[in-house]
């Protein structure tokens, strides 16, 4: 039987050896989930009670989850604690959203054809949900994919990232402790081949994916007829700086928003456009702060930047930065590998517009600064890629900021805040190649429900 070895992200020490599920077990999971759906969902009261208990259980293991996130995923322990707090909040958001999701009465007497009829809609669970998750937020992403299914009464099978499955496995255990019957939530540890078998099965009603665009679009193209889906991929997030009084706050914020979790976030600030006459100065100031970041084992309290998720990721970013420098980028700080899984926080000034660091998602502690001549030029560059997620603009001129916000091609534009801003009840989605559908707890819950209209002739 094939095994998954889960390692401590920085040291490589073995955290767990897990048996991978085979194709027969995939079939059994799908059968179990389908039977659960056909048997009918638990009452709303039961689901709310389960979610309330689950929130309390996760809260009781707050520090344990935080350490698990730091160890298996490499997120610094201080940030891992924030992730657990968000996860607990996400469970409670789902409970609150149940009050906002209702059917409606449909007027029937607009024309003589509808006269004498009364109609209303009810919402029913869509069916079996399959979720494929990513490594970078191993608890909170599972919350965003699993909890909406529990709240709406859909059985769910989740495949966590093979490098970071432990948070999801523990969450599933706590869900059962909270009272959800066995079979409603199943965790699948799968090879790519068996993951595709799971995702593309005709019994899957809804597919939730968080990960690379290449994999997400491939799986979408193979879904069974009728399967609905939501895909969340990454971006190459742009930030346009105009004039902003709190320059020190801005500089510190750029470092945090680009280097948080070593840049392994789908909305990390990657491209910063500043007036040409200010580019060198601001790049130097950003580099000064970036160079002070402590890189090390995520479990250490003083670590600012943990490891990248794998040596292969470090190899990739080393090659990309070297390419950018060779093609003319000015290295302001960093630009070097620290060890097998760590890369120094790096600031590049004016890399080529066609360099990989300018056109593809870095997913590493690298931020690029570009000088622009006009705001129109900055907007054109910001919109020039086939990926589009969140973006931001910094300006003390409210009219200028709003004008730029309207021109940016993004699903969300932050004014005087960073592309990383998110609360878990807001819509969260990519445009262009960056995704399909809308995430966010309540929005995912709506995706997992189907409208049924009931018409009565009086």
- For the annotated catalytic residues, the residue numbers are 232, 266
* Owner of token pair 């989930």: 33
DSSP summary character for residue 386: S
State which H helix or E strand residue 85 sits in. Answer: helix 77-97
Is-contact 203 157, C-beta < 8 A? Answer: no
* Secondary structure class of 74 (helix, strand, coil): coil
State the Cα–Cα distance between residues 233 and 435, nearest whole angstrom. Answer: 5
Token reading at 187? 């965790």
* Owner of token pair 């109609």: 119
Contacts of 3 (CB under 8 A, 6+ apart): 17, 18, 19, 20
State the Cα–Cα distance between residues 380 and 273, nearest whole angstrom. Answer: 11
Residues in the chain: 458
State which H helix or E strand residue 428 sits in. Answer: none
Token reading at 14? 């073995």
**Phi, psi at residue 349, to the nearest 5°?**
-110, 125
State the Cα–Cα distance between residues 266 and 268, nearest whole angstrom. Answer: 6
DSSP summary character for residue 214: H
State the Cα–Cα distance between residues 346 and 335, nearest whole angstrom. Answer: 5
**Phi, psi at residue 225, to the nearest 5°?**
-55, 135
Q: What angle do CA 8, 131, 54 make, to 5 degrees?
A: 75
Q: Nearest to residue 222, comparing CAs of 199, 191, 192, 241? A: 199
State the Cα–Cα distance between residues 140 and 444, nearest whole angstrom. Answer: 14
């Amino acid at each position: 039987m094939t095994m998954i070895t889960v390692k401590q992200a920085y040291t490589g020490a073995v955290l767990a050896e897990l048996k991978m599920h085979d194709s027969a077990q995939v079939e059994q999971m799908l059968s179990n989930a389908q039977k659960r759906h056909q048997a009918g969902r638990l009452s709303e009261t039961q689901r709310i009670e389960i979610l309330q208990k689950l929130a309390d259980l996760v809260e009781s293991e707050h520090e344990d989850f935080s350490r698990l996130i730091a160890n298996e995923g490499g997120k610094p322990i201080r940030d891992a604690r924030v992730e657990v707090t968000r996860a607990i909040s996400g469970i409670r958001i789902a409970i609150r959203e149940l009050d906002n999701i209702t059917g409606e009465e449909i007027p029937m007497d607009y024309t003589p054809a509808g006269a004498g009829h009364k109609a209303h809609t009810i919402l029913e669970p869509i069916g079996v949900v399959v979720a494929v998750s990513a490594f970078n937020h191993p608890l909170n992403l599972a919350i965003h994919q699993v909890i909406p299914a529990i709240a709406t009464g859909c059985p769910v099978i989740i495949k966590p990232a093979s490098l970071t499955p432990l948070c999801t496995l523990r969450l599933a255990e706590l869900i059962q402790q909270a009272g959800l019957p066995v079979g409603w939530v199943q965790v699948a540890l799968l090879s790519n081949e068996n993951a595709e078998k799971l995702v593309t099965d005709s019994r899957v009603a809804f597919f939730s994916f968080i990960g690379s665009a290449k994999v997400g679009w491939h799986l979408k193209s193979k879904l069974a007829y009728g399967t609905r889906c939501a895909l969340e991929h990454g971006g190459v997030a742009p930030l346009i700086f105009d004039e902003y009084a709190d320059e020190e706050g801005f500089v510190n914020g750029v470092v945090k928003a680009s280097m948080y979790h070593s840049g392994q976030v789908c909305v990390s600030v990657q491209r910063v456009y500043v007036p040409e006459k200010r580019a060198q100065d601001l790049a130097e100031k950003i580099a000064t702060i970036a160079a002070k970041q402590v890189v090390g084992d995520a479990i250490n309290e003083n670590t600012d930047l943990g490891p990248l998720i794998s040596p292969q990721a470090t190899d990739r970013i080393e090659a990309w930065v070297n390419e950018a420098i060779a093609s003319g980028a000015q290295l302001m700080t960093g630009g070097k590998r620290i060890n097998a899984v760590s890369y120094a926080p790096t600031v590049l000034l004016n890399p080529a517009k066609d360099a990989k660091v300018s056109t593809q998602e870095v997913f590493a502690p690298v931020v690029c600064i570009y000088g622009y001549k006009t705001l129109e030029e900055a907007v054109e560059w910001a919109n020039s890629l086939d990926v589009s997620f969140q973006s931001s603009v910094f300006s003390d001129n409210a009219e200028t900021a709003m004008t730029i916000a309207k021109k940016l091609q993004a699903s969300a534009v932050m004014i005087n805040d960073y592309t990383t801003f998110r609360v878990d009840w807001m819509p969260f989605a990519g445009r262009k190649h960056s995704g399909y559908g809308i995430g966010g707890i309540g929005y995912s819950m709506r995706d997992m429900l189907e409208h049924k209209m009931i018409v009565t002739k009086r």
